[in-house]
Amino acid sequence: MANIDPNGAPVGFPFEDHRLDNGMRVILHQDRSTPIVAVHVMYHVGSKDERAGLTGFAHLFEHLLFQGSEHVPREGHFKHIQDAGGTLNGSTWFDRTNYYETLPSNELDLALWLESDRMGFFRAGITQEKLDNQREVVKNERRQSYENRPYGLAFETVLESAYPERHPYRHPTIGYMPDLEEASLEDVHGFFDRHYGPNNAVLVLAGDIEPAAALGRVEHWFADIPPRPVPDRVSVPSALDRGERRATIDDQVQVPRVYLMFHSPPFDDPGFEAADVLTFLLGDGKSSRLHNALVYEQQVAAEVHAFTWPTEKVGMFFVVATARPGVTAEALETAARDVIRDLRSGSIRAEEMEGALNRARRSLVGQLNAVGGRADAFAHAVTLRDDPGYVNSVFGRYASLTGEAVTGLADEILRSDRLTAVHVVPRAGTDQVADGS
């Protein structure tokens, strides 16, 4: 059975790695402990592949893939999966778009039918009416999750500040309102033809399957979908030469929040795991450096987080801190950067490093303990690293990290010439709360 050596040795989840004649990559992972299977299709296309003036298109397109295809009526996708007792969703990111369902294992064919129909027979299902409807849904998603939410526009401000005009990572996945209006049916067909061929996708089955039989079913449903030319990967220039960038925006909020983004190693870089452990060391747990200094000792922050995004081409390492009342964004940034400076120039206690690694390891197990999370991890490992075995070897890579490797990485990336700082401050006229004490 799938076991992870508590010491982090690279043993773990067995898998088979196949490729159909049409180029579709297939990963099969068996785990029969629960009679369910996760089916996950990841296409190697995301918001960074959008053309200028059509930001948000990859995500809008993802919505359309739930609107039916030649043999599946509108709303049929959700209906069939829910009727089988399954759950489903999709998501869009800079670099990839995924579609996934987890359902009772006796319904594997249902999921393969639905996924193969939208991969091979999408064109006949799409209409102007569906496009217009989902355009409105997505505009409301932007309003709900970004515009009408405190600090909701901070991340897109970070991207706009960090990257130059036309850079593929400069715009948010949700896109901008005027661009969403522009999307036409012609764009939809073109995008599908360019990016949604089987040879630009990986299909992962994880859970209660017999690999040989499951591969037969995958061939049955997908083998007749022809491959299509895959466009050249978009070129992504480094933004390291831009130096420190800064922006301030106001919002309907009562206290400032500071976003510090440092250009860092992307997901397939050897430094990625060290950057990830650094996030645990700095911001995960009450004893972490930033929490202890900013929230506990100095009480200048209400909360502080550190995280790094597993992006394909350029990495982003974030520190995000929310001020206590009466603390300015400037003071908060200074306090956070003092902690970062101490870390870069100092050393890490053995117990501190042990804890960061233990938290990283437990967090990984938490991401992989359900078949849905495991399928997601395999799909990312294939799409962004071309290495499904990363799902297992990652444990050993974490275990072999030393404190010196982590401080070395911190010293390399947490520098002001790699920094983009965004301050979100209360809009004039918004009532300030008095200090609570």
Report the site for another protein in 194-213 (rule: CB under 8 A).
208
CB contact at 8 A, 256 and 303? no
Q: Binding residue for another protein (CB under 8 A) from 9, 53, 83, 338?
A: 83
CB of 430 to another protein, least distance (A): 6
d(CA 370, CA 102): 10
Nearer to another protein, 184 or 238 (CB): 184
Q: Binding residue for another protein (CB under 8 A) from 9, 14, 53, 79?
A: 79
Nearer to another protein, 141 or 268 (CB): 141
Per CB under 8 A, does 113 bind another protein?
yes
| H or E element at residue 250 | strand 245-251
CB of 359 to another protein, least distance (A): 4
Per CB under 8 A, does 6 bind another protein?
yes
d(CA 434, CA 62): 45
- 149 Cβ neighbours under 8 A, 6+ residues apart: none
Q: What are phi and psi of 345, to 5 degrees?
A: -95, -10
Nearer to another protein, 140 or 416 (CB): 140
Q: Binding residue for another protein (CB under 8 A) from 28, 110, 119, 203?
A: 110
From residue 236, alpha-carbon distances to 67, 232, 376, 436 in Å are: 32, 12, 25, 47
CB of 81 to another protein, least distance (A): 9
d(CA 254, CA 259): 16
Nearer to another protein, 105 or 264 (CB): 105
Pick the stretch among 147-155, 158-166, 328-336, 413-421 that binds another protein (CB under 8 A).
147-155
Q: Binding residue for another protein (CB under 8 A) from 143, 233, 246, 341?
A: 143
CB contact at 8 A, 99 and 90? yes
Q: Which residue has the tokens 């120039």?
A: 345
Q: For residue 69, what is the DSSP state?
A: B
d(CA 421, CA 245): 6
CB of 142 to another protein, least distance (A): 9
Both tokens of residue 29? 């992972």
Q: Which residue has the tokens 């233990």?
A: 358
In three-state form (DSSP H/G/I as H, E/B as E, the rest C), the secondary structure along 303-345 is: EEEEEEECCCCCEEEEEEEEECCCCCHHHHHHHHHHHHHHHHH
223-252 residues in contact with another protein (CB under 8 A) are 223-224, 252
Nearer to another protein, 63 or 418 (CB): 63
Q: Binding residue for another protein (CB under 8 A) from 91, 127, 133, 367?
A: 133
Per CB under 8 A, does 179 bind another protein?
no
315-374 residues in contact with another protein (CB under 8 A) are 322, 324-325, 351, 354-355, 357-363, 365-366, 368-371
41-70 residues in contact with another protein (CB under 8 A) are 70
Per CB under 8 A, does 400 bind another protein?
no
291-320 residues in contact with another protein (CB under 8 A) are 292, 296, 299, 302
Total residues found in the chain within this entry? 437
Per CB under 8 A, does 405 bind another protein?
no
CB of 374 to another protein, least distance (A): 10
- 122 Cβ neighbours under 8 A, 6+ residues apart: 65, 69, 70, 192, 196
Nearer to another protein, 27 or 357 (CB): 357
Residue 71: name the closest of 119, 123, 117 by CA: 117
